[in-house]
Amino acid sequence: MGKTAPFDKKLLEFATDRERVLLETWANEGTQKKAARVLQITQHSISNAYKRARSRAEIRGYSPQHGLHNPVPGTQLLKGASTLYDEDGKVRLQWVKSSANLQAIQAALHGFAAGLADDVRGGFGKVAQRRTRFAAAELATHYKIGDQHLGLYAWGSETGSEDYDLAKSSADIVGGLSFLIDAAPPTQTGVLVNVGDFLHANDRKSQTPGSGNLLDVDGRHGKVARRAAHILRDAVRLMLHKHQSVQVINARGNHDPDAAVSMEIALEAYFEKEPRVTVQRNDCKVQHFQWGSVCHFVYHGERNRQQQLAHLTNRYREQIGKSAFVYVDNGHVHHKQREELGPCQFEVWNPLAASDQYHADALYGASRSITSVIYHKQFGEVSRNVCDLRIIRAEAD
């Protein structure tokens, strides 16, 4: 049918929802070309929609150009028809035949399927056109470092896993952060979030300060501490190439409550004259900072979530009350855990570190990865990237 030929509106009865929109626009605009311009689609799409509707009409018994004006019910298919005309060309009799044109039926069904596909594509196309694109100034990318335990020593024969030392631990965290920073969009703000226990040992005693548990450490404490400071310093430098401003959070863990303070002081001194970097003081075990209507807390996780919730809603009730979203970053237990309690969304971030002898003997184990999360000032979390340890090792090879 040509683009300017009269449009048979009865064909709308045989069209899908999407086809009906195309054909009605054609009928209203007068030509397929004008309709395509209004709908912002190709003229070919309208032509195909018409052909599919006409094919469906014919198999139902409606084809005026062939003298068929009365379609059969929608639950039936026309198998064939014979028409008797008089000397003036008028229809005198018409018989329905029993033979079926299976090819025509199959083609019509294929056309129906194609029409449904157009419906889906059309719907998703509209959604894509309405998708909100957030401004970089409204977004912040958080790089979540789980318990890194830098300096941890593990003998694979004893732990049932890999040999692990300072060199491997350093390579893993550097590789993971590099991957995530490279993958991140250029949001205005980048936040380096260390949930605690970045160092395996707090000092040269190689014991946990609270319980006095002996720790397997690779190297002297000064060597490990210096490596830790250099890794975090270089991570901030790399983030400055992607983000306009960088914030550093170093939570104090149960393995490194004093060493974490030393790292914070070292980074604060190093970036003292860099206005784009803010190193948050970690005198308090609970770190709090705000991003628009999004409230963030970082706490290592020695206390359970019910105790954390009670403390946060009491101590920070004003900040929480004014926030649309409240996120609490935890570590300590190593396993990935997510739970929503009251207004707070708690999440434990996986470590990259291997299990040492103590944890292996207790049959502890967790997947090893590092994650970045993007937050919007008004809408909270909008996306995240996860870098599994196997990706880091593959890239290193």
Q: What is the pLDDT of residues 360-394, one digit of tens each?
A: 998 888 899 999 999 999 999 999 999 999 999 99
- What backbone torsions phi and psi does residue 355 show, to the nearest 5 degrees? -80, 140
What's the N-to-C CA distance of the chain in angstroms? 62
Q: What is the DSSP secondary structure assignment for residue 63, as one 8-state letter?
A: B
Identify the three-state secondary structure at position 6: coil
Q: Is residue 201 over pLDDT 60? A: yes
CA 161, 211, 216 angle in degrees (round to 5)? Answer: 30
Which residue type is seen at 72? V
For the chain, the domains span 9-130, 136-396
- pLDDT tens readout for residues 294-347: 999 999 999 999 999 999 999 999 999 999 999 999 999 999 999 999 999 999
Tens-digit pLDDT profile for residues 284-303: 999 999 999 999 999 999 99
Instruction: Find out whether 126 and 118 touch, Cβ atoms under 8 Å.
Output: no
Look at residue 51 in the predicted model and tell me its pLDDT.
Answer: 87
CATH superfamily of 136-396: Metallo-dependent phosphatases (3.60.21.10)
CA 173 to chain centre: 22
The answer to whether 345 touches 328, Cβ cutoff 8 Å, is yes
| Digit-coded pLDDT (tens) for 229-241 | 999 999 999 999 9
Buried b (16+ CB within 10 A) or exposed e, 288-302: bbebbebbbbbbbbb
State the chain's mean pLDDT as an integer: 87
Q: How confident is the model at residue 118 (pLDDT cuts 50, 70, 90)?
A: low
Q: 306, 302, 160, 167: which is closest to 223 by C-alpha?
A: 167
Q: Does residue 127 or residue 265 have the better pLDDT?
A: 265
Q: How far is CA 120 from CA 37, 105, 113, 116, in A?
A: 20, 23, 11, 6
Check residue 376 and give its pLDDT.
Answer: 97
Residue 357: burial class (beta carbons within 10 Å; 0-12, 13-18, 19+)? middle
Flag whether pLDDT at 126 surpasses 80.
Answer: no
Q: Parallel, antiparallel, or unpaired: how do β-strands 277-279 and 294-298 relate?
A: unpaired
> pLDDT for 10-40, tens place per residue?
788 878 888 888 888 888 888 888 888 888 8
Query: DSSP 3-state assignment of 1?
Result: coil
**Nearest in space to 336 (alpha carbons), one of 324, 351, 320:** 351
State the Cα–Cα distance between residues 248 and 277, nearest whole angstrom.
Answer: 8
